[in-house]
Amino acid sequence: MSDYKTILGFRTQSLASDPSPLLEGQVWYNTATDVGKVTLPVTTAAAWAIGNNLNSSRVQLAGAGTQTAALAFGGSNTSSSPTTGNVLNATEKYDGTNWTSVNNMNTQRRASGGAGTQTSALAFGGGITPAATRTNATEKYDGTNWTTVNTMNTTRNFLPGAGTQTATLAFGGLVPGPAVSAATEKYDGTTWTSNPTGLNTARNYLAGAGTQTSALAFGGGTGAPTIIATAATELFNGTTWTSNPTGLNTPRTGLAGAGTQTAGLAFGGFPSISATELFNGTTWTSNPTGLNTGRGNSLGGAGTKTSALAFGGGTGPLNTTPSSLTEKWTDTFTALTARTITTA
């Protein structure tokens, strides 16, 4: 019977510890643990993992940044008839492990849009008090302080954003009336400019991803005050929105998003939805597992299709309980792993 040396021309290495870095197909004998080992590729399924909570439980908050450097701002600590005391200007930053409270926004607001990074973010629009009052106020964050800048052209809340602090896209939302909006605006770091054409499907409570010239809009609700959940998905090329032939597999409102126009992620939504979907630029695919805790009411989102963050939002049957929950998303990945060799 042939042995390892006869087959491959060299003997199995004897090592006091596992080698680093690992090489695929590598075989060795670990003298410390008295076992033979081999390096094999192991695939881990995409899933959400529970992280440390926000300091402030809230619904209808906005977010920016990445999974390891995120920013959460605004929102409300109640779902019913917000007043001065429970519409928030609270801001928190996330380092991949913990949330830390930092300087507040100048304007208390809920259901605003957000864009940018943890150290260069933009907050725009939203609802202030009393409950039905909306704002077009815009603020920029430099990593320490919020500064009030030029206002949006269209006053609205329940809108998403895409892009950076100096190249932002705002679209959809709820305008006074109330009525759903298709309005699209671009911010250049100084001034908001209304885009000649808006969304094909006017809606609020929707989510967005991407950049100012390559954005993605998905989900949300049509109609006001009665809201009808939609699966509609649209792509923006810097000038015009195009309706995607296929929409989300699960129509929903109050969801969050992350990623880009060709690599998007949708998660959460009303009522207490945990469903997570991935977009490849053409089609949405439902992931077998969703959020550990289903929630909607405009939860916060940040990051990419492969490494995202979900935070806050509303839990319970009607998403009326403000949450501080945080979850981290990791897409399917394959890594080399040292496995013990066993014999029958």
Asked whether residue 278 carries a pLDDT value surpassing 50, the answer given is yes
* Mean pLDDT value of segment 63-91: 88
Tell whether 340 is covered by a domain: no
Confidence of residue 22 (pLDDT cuts 50, 70, 90): confident
Query: Between 317 and 268, whose confidence is greater?
Result: 268
Residues of the chain with pLDDT > 90, as a percent, come to 76
**pLDDT mean across residues, the chain:** 93
Confidence of residue 260 (pLDDT cuts 50, 70, 90): very high
State whether 102 and 161 are in the same domain: yes
* Mean pLDDT value of segment 133-142: 96
Task: Dump pLDDT digits (tens) for 204-240.
Answer: 999 999 999 999 999 999 988 899 999 999 999 999 9
Q: What total of structural domains would you count in the chain? A: 2
Give the range of the structural domain holding residue 22, as residue numbers without chain letter.
Answer: 4-44
State whether 82 and 94 are in the same domain: yes
Q: Give the C-alpha separation, 344 to 328, whole Å.
A: 39
CA distances, 330 to each of 206, 289, 291, 334 (Å): 23, 12, 12, 12
State whether 158 and 298 are in the same domain: yes
State whether 204 and 222 are in the same domain: yes
State whether 77 and 19 are in the same domain: no
* Mean pLDDT value of segment 317-339: 91
Work out the number of other CB atoms within 10 angstroms of the CB of residue 285: 10
Q: What residue type is assigned to position 91 of the chain?
A: T
Query: Between 132 and 59, whose confidence is greater?
Result: 59
305: left (phi over 0), alpha (psi -120 to 50) or beta: alpha
Q: What is the CATH number of the domain that holds 190?
A: 2.120.10.80
The burial class, CB within 10 Å (0-12 / 13-18 / 19+), for 53 is middle
In this prediction, residue 131 carries a pLDDT of 63
Tell whether 338 is covered by a domain: no
State whether 8 and 99 are in the same domain: no
State whether 244 and 305 are in the same domain: yes
Confidence of residue 4 (pLDDT cuts 50, 70, 90): low
State whether 11 and 159 are in the same domain: no
Confidence of residue 44 (pLDDT cuts 50, 70, 90): confident
In this prediction, residue 6 carries a pLDDT of 55
* Mean pLDDT value of segment 180-188: 98
Query: Between 339 and 230, whose confidence is greater?
Result: 230
Tell whether 337 is covered by a domain: no
State whether 32 and 181 are in the same domain: no
Confidence of residue 3 (pLDDT cuts 50, 70, 90): low
State whether 131 and 80 are in the same domain: yes
CB burial of 314-332 (b: ≥16 within 10 Å; e: otherwise) equals: bbbeebebbbbbbbbbebe
Q: What residue type is assigned to position 142 of the chain?
A: D
Confidence of residue 28 (pLDDT cuts 50, 70, 90): confident
State whether 191 and 76 are in the same domain: yes
Confidence of residue 8 (pLDDT cuts 50, 70, 90): very low
State whether 58 and 125 are in the same domain: yes
